[in-house]
Amino acid sequence: MTEDHAQQQHAPVYRPEGGRKIKGLFSTQTVEKVGTGTTQRKTISKMYWYCEQNDDQNVGVQALNKNMVPAGPTTLVPLDDFLARYNPEPEMYLKTVFPKMQELAATVTRAEENRQRGAFYSAQFDFENALNVDEENVRANFGLGLTYVERGETAKANDILGRIVGLDAAFAPEHKHLFNEFGISLRKSHMVDQAIEYYTRALTLTSTDENLHYNVARAFYEKGDLGKCREHLAEALRLNPDHEEAKRFVEFLDTKK
């Protein structure tokens, strides 16, 4: 089996035939006129996009950064518009983009494993390498933030916190376990104001998560703001009346009255 054939097995580019969904590298072209009169000429600029179809109506498209990996926000393009404007780039995907995506994912996974076993400096090294490739990588940003929190480096953790609260993708449902872990780590490290800032940002995007409201309540309790604490406990119980931790917390607060 050739190397290209092996890559094709692991990195298919799907087209909407036989019910299969679109996935892979595509390009768009823009034609612009430069100059005037007899000196006028046309220039063609080409943009590359990592594209993945999530439903029957739209395709998510994400631009490549200078390191040739998908980065930044994903935009939904109607399927008919996508088919009319986007052209497949299977060779470039297989030989350049997919290997770089694999390498980045492997670096982040290695960093997470190092952090889990307490090898914080090795974890920092790998997380920073990942962010050099994609500065908006959600897993790497959370991982580096957690590494700094666990090492007690508050100033550096604050820098990462500022970056994370600016990333809408950090609070997407698929990253829920990461943003919950990060907020809890901030609170347990007595970075209560930072935890509240972080949770407030999370709530603007995911206000229907009862566990998030419960965690905000705990942060406000540690800050000494019992009014806000009760507000978020009430919201957690409104969203999930069977939330045992929230019910016990309310009972605890009532006994302190």
Give the domain-ending residue among 94, 118, 145: 94
Report how far residue 200's alpha carbon sits from residue 207's, in angstroms, rounded to the nearest whole number.
9
Burial class of residue 245 in the structure, from the number of CB atoms within 10 Å of its CB (0-12 exposed, 13-18 middle, 19+ buried): middle
Number of domains within the chain = 2
117 shares a domain with 84: no
Give the domain-ending residue among 58, 79, 94: 94
124 shares a domain with 49: no
28 shares a domain with 132: no
257 residues of the chain, pLDDT tens digit each: 444 444 444 444 445 555 678 999 999 998 777 667 667 677 778 999 999 998 889 999 999 999 999 998 899 999 999 999 999 999 999 999 999 999 999 999 999 999 999 999 999 999 999 999 999 999 999 999 999 999 999 999 999 999 998 888 888 888 888 888 898 999 999 999 999 989 888 888 887 889 999 999 999 999 999 999 999 999 999 999 999 999 999 999 999 76
Radius of gyration, CA atoms only, the chain = 23
152 shares a domain with 69: no
Checking 75-79 for CB contacts under 8 A at 24+ apart, the result is 79/16, 79/53
122 shares a domain with 28: no
234 shares a domain with 130: yes
72 phi, psi to nearest 5 deg: 85, -170
Domain that holds residue 229: 98-256
Which of 211, 208, 206 lies closest to 249, judged by CA? 211
Tokens of 95: 């030989």
231 shares a domain with 137: yes
Give the domain-ending residue among 67, 94, 121: 94
87 shares a domain with 58: yes
- Could you tell me which residues come within 8 angstroms of residue 29 by beta carbon, excluding any fewer than 6 positions away? 44, 45, 46, 47, 87
